[in-house]
Structure 1
Amino acid sequence: MLKKNTLLKLLYGLILASFTILQLNGQVAPSDKNATKEAKWLFENMYRLMDKGYLVGHQDDLAYGVHWKYEKGRSDVKDVTGDYPGLYGWELGNLELGREKNLDDVPFDKMRSYIQGAYAKGGVVTISWHANNPLTGKNAWDPAPGSVAAILPGGEKHDLYKTYLNRVAAFMHSLKGKKGEPIPLLWRPFHEHTGGWFWWGVKSCSDDEYKKLFRFSADYLRNEKGLHQLLIGYNTGSEFTDEATFLRRYPGDAYVDFISFDTYQHSKENIDSTFINIVDSRLRVLCDIAGKRHKIPAVGEIGFNQIPYEHWFTRVLAPVFKKHRFSYVLFWRNAGYKPYSQETEFFLPYKNHSSAADFYEFFKKPETLFEEEVIKAKLYQ
């Protein structure tokens, strides 16, 4: 016979589970009313998984590392921890031009294979798009005024922009699971728009133009191209300080599933209090907004190039992350040596790097979720 305390615990668990189900079946749902069942499951399960911790992701993790490129099954994260990231970031820049490789020299055929493999195991995929400027023909870092106005309906480059979207849509449609189902994607377009370095940023378009661009792009991909596997993110830089400034260019709840911001440590201080305060305060604002609007909060990009402080993960990031309930953090890519700039770039340690042991301690923390834990969470069912 069950003891009274055991019965009470079981009853409480059932009530809590029922409440969670009611909540998830109500206000907590993807913004796309026609989202695929896999996208719905992913959204709901990522929302629920925040109670356990946050996914740790890495950009281009399977394609290359500091001293290698395109070695099957290899990953700098796996070399250091024995496990893969829980989330994989990929970039579509140059796809809109019809090229075979993205702006970081990753072939789109290989990228498709990496995405399908990650999904088959239960991992999560997020995609960014540093699209070339349709007005000037230059790259994404060409903040020419009028660029966004030119591609909105009625603009001189509107048809060209739709061609860009058609190529993106074709690639996304090609991402299928083993049963032919569309792979859910965390789509992070027009990010860091609160800065002035991109053609969609604050120096190149008004807030209203940005909102129109965001809405048109989402509507076109969903309704014209039939992409209902997308969970769409509104991703700023770290320039905001409160709810009002974060939401200044927000396109509306009907277009957004997750909200995030990008930030990097640039100073060479080991314990940079300014950077820590930025991460802490921005996460606080983000998580508050997410709670009110039933969105998924995340850190869209983060890093400290070459990780000069060997305890950066456990003494800088881990303490501030532990204070907040958010879904994932994406560390930027391990590009290695870049001949054009003659510098080595990496944002996660590789094997035998001075910060590798610290990252392994970060990996062991119960709140950091890597691939094995993500697989157990069964996010797509």
Structure 2
Amino acid sequence: MNKLLFIVFAAFSAACSDTPPLPADPQATPETRALYRNLFRIADEGVMFGHQDDALYGHDWKYEEGRSDVRECCGDYPAVFGWELGGLETGADRSIDDVPFAEITRLLCAAYGRGAVNTVSWHPQNPESGASAWDGKTSTAVSSILPGGANHAQFRLWLDRLAGFFVGLKSADGTCVPVLFRPFHEHTGSGFWWGEAQCTPDEYKALWRFTVEYLRDVKGVHNLLYVYSPDLYRDAEHYTERYPGDEWVDVLGLDAYHRPQDWDFLSGGERMLSTLQRLGREHGKPTAFTETGLEGIPDTAWWTRRLLPVIRGKGLSYVLVWRNAHDRPTHFFGPWHGHASEPDFRKFAANREQPVLFESQLPDMYH
């Protein structure tokens, strides 16, 4: 569908809807509200393809202006760019992946200027130990940063720094750039200090609600959409066990990596994404496959033999694969020019059975 037809369709859909979708932030900027509505609509056209850190570095390169492993494989940038803010909470000028936050800001805004969608993850350090987000040895880190906790003032400072980053995302004309913010992800697992084994459901819900309320109502950050993204889950009850409520969440997501030794990607992915599709309809939320991938991509037909069947017909707004590390030769999840899976990725990108959308194929997502 071209941009003109998309606009006509959008106008018709809005006219026919008694309750147009509204984000969790009633004061969200016009561009953020438009992005939210278009996350619903884009799923009728195809699944946007995303890649973490795509504009920053790739399999064997770093900070080369305009480069993109995805673009070098299929001729187009991803429709969705993922970025990481871990480290910002400490006052550092570089992320946990050693990327200057100033560079993230510049390239994130540039992606918006081209019409792409931006999503941000955050791996904050453990507030009790000062170790990484992966330090899950304690069961009191979450309670310590809630109101009344020993580390609550520290957490507010962390959120102050996040707020400063988000409100500083400005386009060339001064518009606040909308961002899909995905905090405290993969909480149905126990890999992080906010995970299932590290806090109670009520503590997790309180953490989520305080974060949204503080950024939105105290700091006046109005360019965010909030993405809820558990790890592997058993059923709908497990998925929603720590769900903070529809008024606090904008997008329902899933993080599920293909780890053949742990679970079957085809059957498990079909089950979880079908459940996600149903939950999206029940809760009135767009859905996304917020993180996935097969590290090193040893299956050269993984894109069409594994990923495509799993996302087909699930009504997803986007699917994002994780980063291609420039300094770890086997740590990559996206395609890169010269890899054995590159021909299959081109088939994946060009297939018509389940359209996969890249940057130049997007309608105007912000109006």
TM-score class normalised by the smaller sequence: over 0.9
Counterparts of 1:216-365 in structure 2, within 5 Å, are 216-238=210-232, 240-267=233-260, 274-338=264-328, 344-365=330-351
Deviation at 1:138, TM superposition (A): 1.1
Aligned length: 358
Q: Distance in 2 between matches of 1:290 and 1:176?
A: 31
Deviation at 1:28, TM superposition (A): 1.9
Residue matched to 1:51: 44
Contact 2:49 2:80 in 1 (8 A): yes
Deviation at 1:344, TM superposition (A): 2.1
1:85 aligns with 2:85: no
Residue matched to 1:10: none
> Which amino acid letter does the alignment assign opposite residue 368 of structure 1?
V
> Which amino acid letter does the alignment assign opposite residue 316 of structure 2?
F
Secondary structure of the residue that 1:330 maps to in structure 2?
A: strand
Deviation at 1:207, TM superposition (A): 0.2
Q: Distance in 2 between matches of 1:263 and 1:273?
A: 10
Match of 1:133 among 98, 102, 126: 126
After superposition, the Cα gap between the structure-2 partners of 1:79 and 1:17, relative to the gap in structure 1 and judged at 3 Å, is closer
1:95 aligns with 2:93: no
Deviation at 1:336, TM superposition (A): 3.6
Task: Among all aligned residue pairs of Structure 1 and Structure 2, give the percentage whose two residues are the same amino acid.
Answer: 42
Deviation at 1:22, TM superposition (A): 4.0
Secondary structure of the residue that 1:335 maps to in structure 2?
A: coil
Q: Deviations over 1:67-124 (max 9, x none)?
A: 1000000000011111000000000000001111100111101100110100001000
Residue matched to 1:373: 361
> Which amino acid letter does the alignment assign opposite residue 337 of structure 2?
K
After superposition, the Cα gap between the structure-2 partners of 1:267 and 1:242, relative to the gap in structure 1 and judged at 3 Å, is closer
Match of 2:206 among 208, 212, 216: 212
Contact 1:27 1:294 in 2 (8 A): no
How large is the RMSD of aligned CA atoms in angstroms? 1.8
Match of 1:195 among 171, 189, 197: 189
Secondary structure of the residue that 1:170 maps to in structure 2?
A: helix
Q: Which ranges of structure 1 fall in alignment gaps of 5 or more residues? A: 1-12
Secondary structure of the residue that 2:316 maps to in structure 1?
A: coil
> Which amino acid letter does the alignment assign opposite residue 342 of structure 2?
A
Deviation at 1:319, TM superposition (A): 2.0
After superposition, the Cα gap between the structure-2 partners of 1:307 and 1:329, relative to the gap in structure 1 and judged at 3 Å, is same
Q: Distance in 1 between matches of 2:107 and 2:264?
A: 37
> Which amino acid letter does the alignment assign opposite residue 73 of structure 1?
G
Rg larger for: 1
After superposition, the Cα gap between the structure-2 partners of 1:42 and 1:24, relative to the gap in structure 1 and judged at 3 Å, is farther
After superposition, the Cα gap between the structure-2 partners of 1:16 and 1:57, relative to the gap in structure 1 and judged at 3 Å, is closer
> Which amino acid letter does the alignment assign opposite residue 250 of structure 2?
D
Q: Distance in 1 between matches of 2:263 and 2:154?
A: 45
Match of 1:71 among 59, 64, 86: 64
